[in-house]
Amino acid sequence: MERVPILKIGSILLVSIQVDMSDQTAVQLQEDLAERIVATGAHGVLIDITALDIVDSFVGRMLSTIASISKVLDAETVVVGMRPAVAITLVELGLSLNGIRTALNVERGMELIAAARDDDQDLDEDEDDAGPDGGPATETTASR
Amino acid sequence: MTVGVDLGQPQTQEVRADEDVVRVRQLVRAVAVAVKLSLVDQTKLVTAASELARNTLVYGGGGTVDVMTADNGRRRGVRIVFADSGPGIADLDLALTDGYTTGGGLGLGLSGARRLVDEFEIDTAAGQGTRITVTKWSR
């Protein structure tokens, strides 16, 4: 089984999917990403799907699940580089990619993650006593 | 896989494992390119094939996928037949409803695939296996 590499750039994890993934590879990526988010303390996940010539319901669901997992682990997910034909097909298929933020390219995706982080920090400013590594700072209302 | 597709006769791909679904996508893509479907139509057809091949594997317990060219005198197209000898589909109307699933997926496989192709035929009954034929025509 092929494995999709995960790169760390600053506090962002970058995943560029370059292979036609089998379902198993997609599930593996989901698990690998969750582990890497926790291990690195990353606050953003950027998934580049420029090379994907289709996104079917399985991969679509994987992207949604990754976004949800990241959110629970205090990281923002942005999917970038969707091809126009893929977007048209996804909509017709009936897939809504719940909870996924998208951007046209990697650069804009990084800006989006940085902006989301700034918003969170503004809201968090008064509660910084929570301790640096004292478990997840529970945040019930801040993120959107 | 993308070159040297013999368009003269149907190409058969067994679907027994996860990787076979990937092979089905590649085969369908190659034939769709050879028949000169537009990029959007290629994408729709390959996506539909991916959904249906996964169904063949997951619900049908495996089977075969035949990919062939079609010609109706005016237009060329790609026809794909997904066949399994699994449990079949007892309630077809229900199975074709958006969001209905027995397998924990999103329930978009059958209904979504049908929207992505031009022709969609399904032949199934409880205990009789399932045979789905789809066709996409060039514009």
pLDDT in tens, A18-27: 999 999 999 9
In A, which residues are within 8 Å of B98 by CB distance? Answer: 94
Question: Which amino acid appears at position B65 of this protein?
Answer: V
The domain spanning residue A82 has which CATH number? 3.30.750.24
Q: What is the pLDDT of residue B55?
A: 93
A105 lies in some domain = yes
Look up tokens 């669901």; give the residue: A61
Here the tokens at position B126 are 């409880």
User: pLDDT tier at B5 (50, 70, 90 boundaries)?
Assistant: low
Check whether A80 has a pLDDT greater than 50. Answer: yes
In A, which residues are within 8 Å of B113 by CB distance? Answer: 93
Check whether B136 has a pLDDT greater than 60. Answer: yes
For residue B71, give the nearest of B62, B81, B79 by alpha carbon: B79
DSSP collapsed to 3 states, chain B: CCCCCCCCCCEEEEECCHHHHHHHHHHHHHHHHHCCCCHHHHHHHHHHHHHHHHHHHHCCCCEEEEEEEEECCCCEEEEEEEEECCCCCCCHHHHCCCCCCCCCCCCCHHHHHHHHCCEEEEEECCCCCEEEEEEEECC
A52 lies in some domain = yes
Facing residue for B109 by CB, picked from A24, A57, A88: A57
Q: What is the pLDDT of residue B6?
A: 67
Check whether B9 has a pLDDT greater than 90. Answer: no
A42 lies in some domain = yes
Show the domain range for A90: 6-123
A48: which DSSP letter? E
Angle at B31 between CA B25 and CA B34, to 5 degrees: 140
A27 lies in some domain = yes
Q: Provide the CA B88 distance to its chain's centre, in angstroms.
A: 16
The pLDDT tens digits for A31-55 are 999 999 999 999 999 999 999 999 9
> How far is residue A44's CA from residue A84's CA, in Å, rounded to a whole number?
24
Length of chain A: 144
Residues of chain B with a CB closer than 8 angstroms to some CB in chain A: 18-19, 21-22, 25-26, 29, 39-40, 42-44, 46-47, 50-51, 54, 98, 105-106, 108-109, 111-113, 115-116
Check whether A125 has a pLDDT greater than 90. Answer: no
A136 lies in some domain = no
A132 lies in some domain = no
- In sequence order, the 6+-apart residues with CB closer than 8 A to the CB of B91 are none
More confident position, A142 or B15: B15
Q: What is the pLDDT of residue B1?
A: 45
Among chain B residues, the shortest Cα distance to A88 is held by: B40
Select the CATH number that applies to the domain covering B11-137 from these four: 3.30.565.10, 1.10.10.1590, 3.20.20.70, 3.30.70.270: 3.30.565.10
Kindly provide the ipTM of the predicted complex, given to two decimals.
Answer: 0.88
Tell me if residue A106 falls in helix, strand or coil. helix
Question: Which amino acid appears at position B94 of this protein?
Answer: L
Q: How many domains does chain A have?
A: 1
A131 lies in some domain = no
Question: Which of the residues A58, A86, A88, A91 would you substitute to probe the B interface, choosing the one with the greatest number of B C-beta atoms within 10 Å?
Answer: A58
- Domain layout of chain B by residue ranges: 11-137
Cβ within 8 Å, pair A93-B116: yes
A20 lies in some domain = yes
